[in-house]
Structure 1
Amino acid sequence: MIKVVDKLLLFLYSIVIGCLSVLLVSIGFNWLSRGLVHDWIDELYRLDSLKITLIVAGVILFILSLRFFIVSLHRGSATAPSIDQRTDFGDIRISLETIENLALKAASRQRGVKDLRARIRATDAGLDIVIRAVVDGESSIPVLTEEIQRSVKEHVEDIAGIPVTNVAVYVANIIQTGTFKSRVE
């Protein structure tokens, strides 16, 4: 939630800074007449409500600047998403990228699979794995996808020791075989 708020604040902050930079460039290139700028400044010093508004806006921009400065220095726990397990000997952390590679390795062992991608989502019950595949179209797609599901589930559970609740296989396309008829003239 904090990251979403920070992104929203950074968006608003960048818009305000962008507007101020356009104003400064306009003054620098004399796109705004000197009289117009003097009128704005005179109006600023004359109206107390405008002074208060500018003071509040300046304080808010300064606080936002400090916030973004502190966030930029804070290294935090920006680690890769992982699955944490506790054993008798200590803690184990397995990254989701590792699980993804295990799933891809198991799926690539199947004949007829050409291009694979995996997406892993950790839930309380176990892992949800989505495999996107391009197949050669030479073998039965239902049989091939069942084999992929079975092998991925078994391989990930055996190697990582984490239960797999679902393996979904999405067949994105089939590869056109390169059979060309030779033409004799």
Structure 2
Amino acid sequence: MGSFDRIVLGLYSFLLTIIIILSISFLSGWRYPVDLINLSGINQMQKETVAALLIILILAGIRLFFVSLKYQKAGKHAVVNDNALGEVRISLQAIEGLVEKKVLLMSGVRQAKPKIVAEPPGISLYMEIVVTPDINVPQISGLLQEQIKEYVFEVTGITVNNVKILVESFAVNKPRVE
């Protein structure tokens, strides 16, 4: 849910709470809320304003209803093992950190930014890397794909469906040795 939807939800729930409180007070015998809602004593411009506000509330309610029904692609976790004692989950961020550490150990790779997407029966990995100009890109990318797929399965038990690599740039600067 985006920040716009959160703001709409907050305002909508606040106004709905006020309406519910006024309705409950009316049902308890307090007649002042009826006088507040009585539209016969207001002019045409005020009626249009009230009607506009009610339409906005209805539209906000419809939007929030459909946002709540929206299909969520994948959760923030990947299920690893489902047994009699419960469910074991590993966050996608943890897997990203694992992959990043493994990739940075390879010679010729300077930076790695993995992004993992949960897809049924496993995960897919999209990675942007920065490499040194003295390596063979097809060779290192094929090696990376194989090693990452095997390593993630070995450590987590999660199947990696595919590994897509984007060579973002070639690092020109040699690292300083201190």
Q: Scaled by the length of structure 2, what TM-score is found? A: 0.61
Q: Is the aligned partner of 1:117 residue 2:113? A: yes
Task: Tell me whether 1:51 sits opposite 2:46 in the alignment.
Answer: yes
Deviation track 1:94-149 (CA, whole Å, cap 9, x = no partner) reads 10001111111221121000011000001013110011100001121111111111
Q: 2:162 aligns to what?
A: 166
CA 58–136 in structure 1, closer or farther in 2 if over 3 Å, else same: same
- Residue in 1 that maps onto 2:25: none
> Structure 1 residues 133, 53: CA separation in 2 closer, same or farther (over 3 Å shift)?
same
Identity over aligned pairs, percent: 24
How many matched pairs? 129
SS in 2 for 1:152: helix
Amino acid at match of 1:55: V
TM alignment of 1:97-176, pairs within 5 A: 97-176=93-172
**Inter-CA distance 171–87: structure 2 relative to 1 (3 Å threshold):** same
RMSD over equivalenced CA pairs, Å: 3.2
| 79, 83, 87: which one aligns with 1:87 | 83
Q: Which residue of 2 aligns with 1:7?
A: 5
Q: Distance in 1 between matches of 2:78 and 2:142?
A: 26
Moved more, 101-110 or 129-138: 101-110
In structure 2, list runs of 5 or more residues that go unmatched.
12-41, 61-74
1:93 CA displacement: 1.5
Tell me which structure has the larger Cα radius of gyration.
1
CA apart distance, 1:176: 1.1
Whole-angstrom CA distance in 2 between matches of 1:145 and 1:93: 29
> Where does residue 22 of structure 1 map in the other structure?
none
Q: How far off is 1:54 after superposition?
A: 1.9
